[in-house]
Structure 1
Amino acid sequence: MYFVEWLMRRTLTASKKDITGFEGDMKQFEKATEKYGKQYRGMQERQVSDVPSDARSIYRMNDTYMDVRTFFDEWRGGVTIGLSPLLLGLLSFPFLFLIPLLDVFFYGVWPATGDVATNESYVAAVGMWVIWFVMVAAFVYLFWIFRMECLVQRHIVVRFNRKTRKIYINRPNFAGGNQVYDWDDVVASVDPDDQVVTKQRKREILMLFFFKQRTGAEYHDVVFLGAPLRSDHELYALWEYIRRYMEEGPGSIPAPKCIPRFPWPWRSLLAPWSFLENKWAAAPWSPGMIALVVIVSPLMLIHAVAHWCSLLLCWPTYWPRQLRRESTATKRL
């Protein structure tokens, strides 16, 4: 679901009128961006981990570019579940009720019984059409929410191109749109001066910041990278994997176990499991964890089905022609 990206975009591009009451917070944020923009300049050349890892986050890699997934791919299905009754009603209502009810207007008979239509029949037929139009209006009004995970590109993809030394972000327009940034301008959510990281199980996000002071763009930008990472150790390992690929080439890192872009149904089963993975790892096969999995398994199955349906209602990520030309690969790994 792209709600977080949409919300972040709205926040970063907010006008002074929109942030009334939060001017102090925005000034502090701007000071922080200037600080980190200077402090972490050149971090692309500094090693932060001895064990680079793909962290289950690579779609494709070759000697020219590497495509990396973003964090919130598992956070989809809720909108599909919430709006599915409205959508199913919108599609089925005409066939179940509206088309048969045309007999009332054209032939003067009630379709279910064949009896002569009365005044009440005409009122009921008009009422059913009104209900359907209300459903259409509700769907149109809520369509922007529906687009957060359906009828939109299937994934946000971040491409790291060694040939051009640029980062390409491919995402829907409402979530920030396609952007191109210089590799040397990125600031990652790792501290090059602190390589003391733990393997404690917790959900981590690798964030890449593109501050306008460095990029020359009108607004700041941020992208949430990688699968749900299991520790800050894995977070640093993923950044080191990307850093070495861009600075030293694919020969300096282990070959990735690429994840498929096609929406295989069994991969959707992994989406709800990702929310329990760390808890399970902390106490595998314990009675409490087994009971928790059994209790929530129906919800996990519903989430998995909704997750898969949302993917099927989307289309594959499409790269503009110019970006495809810049990403022509000579060898795929």
Structure 2
Amino acid sequence: MYFVEWLMRRTLTASKKDITGFEGDMKQFEKATEKYGKQYRGMQERQVSDAPSDARSIYKMNDTYMDVRTFFEEWRGGVVLGLFPLLLGVLGFPFSFLIPMGIDLVSGHTVHTGRAIVTSDYIAFLVLLFGWFLMLAAFIYLFWIFRMECLVQRHIVVRFNRKTRKIYINRPNFAGGNQVYDWDDVVASVDPDDQVVTKKRKREILMLFFFKQRTGAEYHDVVFLGAPLRSDHELYALWEYIRRYMEEGPESIPKPKCIPSFPWPWRSLLAPWSFLENKWAAAPWSPRMIALVLIASPVMLLHAVAHWCSLLLCWPVYWPRQLRRESTASEPV
């Protein structure tokens, strides 16, 4: 789930030694940040859509703040599937083989048959013990990958506080950590001068950039906002929803259909479907699409189960006390 955020963080904070061979690309990127940082200053005041939409992306909204989800929540479960055999071996091997064999070796005979222990039994035990240590070492080595979607906070939350006019990002440290930015410094991946937006079905991501030239931070920052958006029209509508909330208040936008933060199983079923949703919308109930869904349904079900398990292996989002107080304040701090 957090692999893209982790990779982006590593890229944005890379040292000159780490980017050897890519110096030209980084210079071009820095020039682009300066350009966009100047070009889109004040974009918070410019309307980009006539139909603001929550785009199925709001956790909570009140008169003070609004919590918005991030993009890659559906992209989880793969680590659980990939490392499950290894995890099963680490946890199950001792109870299935090592402990029963250890008891037999201590007693001098097998519990079930009463056969006397011979030298080959000791050798077999040592081989199995060595195999278990190898699995344990492999799991410890790959644990950083496991933490990408398990034993970590369940979601990344981006909170927009219209009273303090700040943006609060709550995420794991390896994915960028908790950050606070001024609303007036954000640059969104929309062009205020571009009024040509279509409803053509394609996956879109609303990206919010925080360039260090504007924020005064040591590094650039970026968050990928919203549910898997289904067109650039929906992308602009989501940004307009956020923009109007911050600039004009909740009375200027439709009431959102808030998504639950609790990991209900049925929401995990929607995760694999999001990858086929646009194709289905282009040709609903066509023989080809029905066949594709039937063929992919076992994989989709496996993905849904792994997605749900990864959510259950995480804990709810926790806001540190100071950040919680500031991000929920009803007046400037």
CA distance in 1 between partners of 2:205 and 2:313 (Å):
27
Aligned 8 A contact 1:6 1:175 in 2: yes
* Secondary structure, aligned partner of 2:142: helix
Does 2:88 correspond to 1:101?
no
Does 2:150 correspond to 1:126?
no
* Secondary structure, aligned partner of 2:18: coil
* Secondary structure, aligned partner of 2:224: strand
By how many angstroms is 1:114 displaced? 2.3
Does 2:240 correspond to 1:240?
yes
CA distance in 2 between partners of 1:329 and 1:173 (Å):
24
By how many angstroms is 1:105 displaced? 3.4
Deviations 1:294-331 (A, max 9, x none): 0100000000000000000000010011122124377x
The sequence identity of aligned pairs, in percent, is 85
Aligned 8 A contact 1:5 1:175 in 2: yes
Letter in 1 for 2:69: R
Describe how 1:59-70 pairs up with structure 2 within 5 A.
59-70=59-70
Alignment length, in residue pairs?
A: 330
RMSD: 1.0
Aligned 8 A contact 1:80 1:146 in 2: yes
Runs of 4+ in 1 over 4 A off after TM superposition: none
Describe how 1:284-303 pairs up with structure 2 within 5 A.
284-303=284-303
Deviations 1:114-156 (A, max 9, x none): 2111111111111111111111111000000000000000000
1:249 is matched with which residue?
Answer: 249
TM-score relative to the length of structure 1: 0.97
1:222 is matched with which residue?
Answer: 222
2:55 is matched with which residue?
Answer: 55
CA distance in 2 between partners of 1:114 and 1:49 (Å):
79
Deviations 1:149-172 (A, max 9, x none): 000000000000111111011111
Describe how 1:60-209 pairs up with structure 2 within 5 A.
60-209=60-209
CA distance in 2 between partners of 1:298 and 1:19 (Å):
42
CA distance in 2 between partners of 1:127 and 1:251 (Å):
69
Consecutive unaligned residues in structure 2, runs of 5 or more = none
By how many angstroms is 1:213 displaced? 0.3
Consecutive unaligned residues in structure 1, runs of 5 or more = none
TM-score relative to the length of structure 2: 0.97
- Which has the larger displacement, 303-312 or 107-116? 107-116
2:34 is matched with which residue?
Answer: 34
Does 2:270 correspond to 1:270?
yes
Deviations 1:38-69 (A, max 9, x none): 00000000000000000000000001100000
